A and B are shown apart, each in its own frame.
Chain A
Amino acid sequence: MKRKDSSQLRAFWNEFRRVKFGTVGLALFAVFVLIVLFEPLLMPYPDANDRWRDMTYWLDSPRNAKPVWVNWFTSKDYAVADTIEPTSVTESQVGSLRMVMMEFEYDFHYQRPPADLQLVTTLTGNASIQMELIRPDGASLNYQRATSSSGTRDIRVSVAQNLQDKVFRLASAYADPDVIASENPETIDAMATMFAAAEPNMLRATNPLEGTYICKLTVALTSADSRVDDAMLVIAGGVAGWMGTDASKRDIWSGLIAGTKWALLIGLVTSFVSVAIGVVYGVVAGYFGGWVDSMMNRIFEVFLSMPLLPILIVMGAVFKPSIWTMIIMMCLFFWVGPVKTVRSMALQIKENTYIEAAKALGASHGRIVFKHLLPQLVPYAFATMALSVPSAIVYEASISLIGLGDATVVTWGQILQDAYASGAVLQGTWWWVVPPGLAIALMGMTFAFIGFAMDTILNPKLRTR
């Protein structure tokens, strides 16, 4: 028996390979499964799963950055987001002060400046910091800050926000007096000016100055227990990651990868369980007919007429919203989908002579239902499953939309919901809307392809000898 099963499976596989779109569907499915398996390797932000909604985790990313491959299609490249570690760290003793000197080098070879340049470090105890930014043409600006506290704190110096006036002063040395008079330190684009070629029109910065920008950081540690840690230069580029970032600085690529497993889980479990229940229910109702059918129809109608959304809202109020409660609730209400069709198909199939022949042979009801009726509905069941996979994912997204989503996980629906809530389409941040939408569509297509391929194989009348 074992031998026969494996050969049957092989025969099925040989058939399946011949259906082109089935292979495409299977390949896509394999890709999704591989993404889930190699998730840690694919995610640049490995904690995206747990800290998706933790704003502090995403501080070092740019806001609303485009995907990096946008640079492939534009003549004026955007600066790529990056974090730069110090190239050199030297420590020296000047009297009672310990001086820590660090140097960062930033190679700027783009046509559009980054959105921000931030110096980030952690200080402990009393310390004062001094930062010097040196442009490739030798012009520089200085920034000093003394802090006194016994605790540990994060220091973040943003050129775009904290150093606007210094940039303005730097530019004033070159700029046209008329332009200086018409501009205001608070309204200039500090980053554009900072990375602009030294020329009279510098404040309205157009021509970028390419080359190596050097940032020198000097920390004077005044007390014995003072320390400086984790210093780095954060370049908030115009492009970041494979799919860009959203308005909350989150890496959308990481979100998509993290959402894949939930999409697969929600889609597969919900559609499989609900369609399996629905098909068996419909077949049993259709096959037995009579009062069994009537009773089962009434139960079916009760479930059909119960609106899922209000129930889910109540569930959300009673229980903590969780992806599992959601899946269970969807299974509990989605099974009604195939029932009517399957019942009518069963009514039709059971009139076939071979059902009567099986009865004449003494076949039990169970055998007739499972051996004669159900196999004929498998293609339909797969098609329904394929169709309800995306609908389950979309339903999850809808539930997320009304704030009843599971806040502990990242789903494509929730990414879309965030995009919708912050008006991504109006802002033109298409990379926030299109990829999750495309992912949902692709997932749906995968299952539709597999379903249709199975239909052609499992329906022998479509087969040729």
Chain B
Amino acid sequence: MSEPILRVENLKKWFPVKRSIRQVLSGERTQVKAVDGISFDVQKGEIFGLVGESGCGKTTTGKLIMKLLDSTDGKMYMEGEDVTGISGDALAAHRRKVQMIFQDPYASMNPRFKILDVLMEPLVIHGVGETSQERETWAIKALEEVKLTPPDEFLSRHPHMLSGGQRQRAATARTLMLSPSIIVADEPVSMIDLSTRAEILHMMRQVQRELGLTYIYITHDLSTARYFTDRLAVMYLGRIVEMGVAGEVIDNTLHPYSKALIAAVCEPVSGRVNRIKEVPIKGEIPAATNIPQGCRFHPRCVYATQACWEQPEPELFDAGNGHMVACRRYEEILEKGDAAKTSEAEF
């Protein structure tokens, strides 16, 4: 395997929580362990997906990659270079290489800026381009790239005059302005009408192929993840519990959490709309300040045994063909699952 474009090693982000006087005096420390030691590689030209429910740390991971947050521990390598603690010029260089598409296309562009200003901003910040005419031609090119045509008509508009889909296209165009190598897309279609989602993802994919980009696609939506990503990592409570080729992870799920996640996907198929599936999971996601002992999924896992919380936390290991999983008992659970099958109940 060639040198990964991005390598993350045991990355951690803990947020301190405001303490009461008693806690300060007793030296008690509480921390939200948003990201609690994750490692993965992203190859050049691939679309890497990060999936998980709200609060699992996937957005924090995205922000760590963007260097919008500083990591508490761990290392991050960009094209072989350590970018964990960079600042100044190195940080500016990093920001030219890594761009981000935000979840909310309504909020990610300054409402006072015209689309032209939005697109020119990265160029102005990094001092790219000699004249405003030159920058404008690049902006037009980027708009053509994301199929916002005719570009001239959109350049003079304000973001609020665009539809959600058009805005997300414009936001994508902005990320392309500096010809980056990695684009972190944080739920880029979750706020867009279902009808336009596929279109946007298709456009993003096309752009990625044409320009040879690498995407890190953050989502809670497994169906788009399956369609869009090459490789997938499932996160739970700040850790990756399963990682592998997208089709493999979804069709051949190993970890009980991933299974629950997949089972939770709605299927608006006639005859099944009125049924709610019994999802093989129990309870609520625990607070990230108080991570359970042993396997952090055990309180919610329907297959959990005493060993799960008495043994130390399982690490990701290869279960064959590069399909990684962080569950020691996955084979045993697979058999049980086959016997019980996911049952369905009438709503």
Contact = CB atoms under 8 A, between A and B. Distances in A.
Contacts of A465: 157, 161
B160 interface: yes
Given A353-B104, A356-B102, A357-B102, A363 B112 contact: no
Contacts of B66: 360
Nearest to B96: A362
B312 interface: no
Interface string A360-377: 111110010000100110
B125 A362 contact: yes
B44 interface: no
A463 to B, nearest CB: 8
B74 interface: no
B110 interface: yes
A458 B158 CA distance: 12
A20 interface: no
Contact of A461 (B107, B111, B121, B132): B111
A207 to B, nearest CB: 73
Contacts of B281: none
B132 A353 contact: no
A465 B111 CA distance: 14
Contact of B107 (A353, A359, A362, A463): A353
A360 B110 contact: no
Interface in B197-227: none
B95 A354 contact: no
Given A375-B112, A460-B111, A362 B102 contact: no
A30 B126 CA distance: 43
A367 B124 CA distance: 10
Interface in A333-387: 352-354, 356-364, 367, 372, 375-376
Contacts of A458: 112
B108 interface: yes
Contacts of B112: 375-376, 458, 460
B125 A357 contact: no
Interface in B108-165: 108-112, 121-122, 125-126, 132, 157-158, 160-161
B125 A372 contact: no
B196 to A, nearest CB: 20
Given A360-B66, A362-B91, A354 B125 contact: no
Nearest to B102: A353
A1 B131 CA distance: 9
B132 A362 contact: no
A352 B157 CA distance: 20
B161 A357 contact: no
Given A353-B104, A460-B160, A360 B95 contact: yes
Contact of B99 (A353, A360, A376): A360
A4 B121 CA distance: 16
Which of A4, A357, A362, A375 counts the most B-chain CB atoms under 10 A from its CB? A357
Interface in B291-347: none
Interface string B23-34: 000000000000
Nearest to B124: A367
Given A363-B121, A363-B125, A460-B160, A357 B95 contact: no
B184 to A, nearest CB: 9
B109 A354 contact: yes
Nearest to A367: B125
Contacts of B103: 353
A408 B106 CA distance: 57
A360 B68 contact: yes
B86 interface: no
Nearest to A354: B110
Contact of B108 (A353, A363, A460): A353
Contacts of A360: 66, 68, 95, 99-100
B265 interface: no
Contacts of B104: 353
Contacts of B126: 362
B108 A362 contact: no
Contacts of B92: 362
B109 A357 contact: yes
A4 B132 contact: yes
B125 A1 contact: no
Nearest to B160: A461
Contact of B158 (A353, A357, A460): A460
B108 to A, nearest CB: 4
Nearest to A362: B95
Contacts of B108: 353-354, 357
A361 B68 contact: no
Contact of B122 (A356, A361, A463): A361
Contacts of B110: 354, 358, 372
B161 A361 contact: no
Nearest to B95: A362
A375 B68 CA distance: 24
Interface string B179-200: 0000000000000000000000
Nearest to A464: B161
Nearest to B91: A362
A367 B91 CA distance: 17
A28 B160 CA distance: 34
Contact of B125 (A361, A375, A376): A361
A359 B104 CA distance: 16
B182 to A, nearest CB: 12
A355 to B, nearest CB: 8
A122 B334 CA distance: 123
A360 B108 CA distance: 11
Contacts of A358: 110, 121, 125
A4 B135 CA distance: 14
Interface in A289-303: none
A158 to B, nearest CB: 69
A465 B154 CA distance: 13
Which of A361, A363, A465 counts the most B-chain CB atoms under 10 A from its CB? A361
Contacts of A461: 111, 160
Nearest to A11: B156
Across chains A and B, which 7 residue pairs bring their CB atoms closest together, nearest first? A362-B95, A353-B107, A353-B108, A354-B110, A361-B122, A360-B100, A357-B108
26 contacts: A1-B132, A353-B102, A353-B104, A353-B108, A354-B107, A356-B68, A357-B102, A357-B174, A358-B110, A358-B121, A359-B68, A360-B66, A360-B99, A361-B99, A361-B122, A361-B174, A362-B95, A362-B96, A362-B122, A363-B125, A367-B125, A372-B110, A375-B112, A376-B112, A458-B112, A461-B160
Interface of B: 66, 68, 91-92, 95-96, 99-100, 102-104, 107-112, 121-122, 125-126, 132, 157-158, 160-161, 174
Interface of A: 1, 4, 352-354, 356-364, 367, 372, 375-376, 458, 460-461, 463, 465
Given A361-B99, A362-B95, A376-B112, 4 more contacts: A358-B121, A361-B95, A361-B121, A461-B160
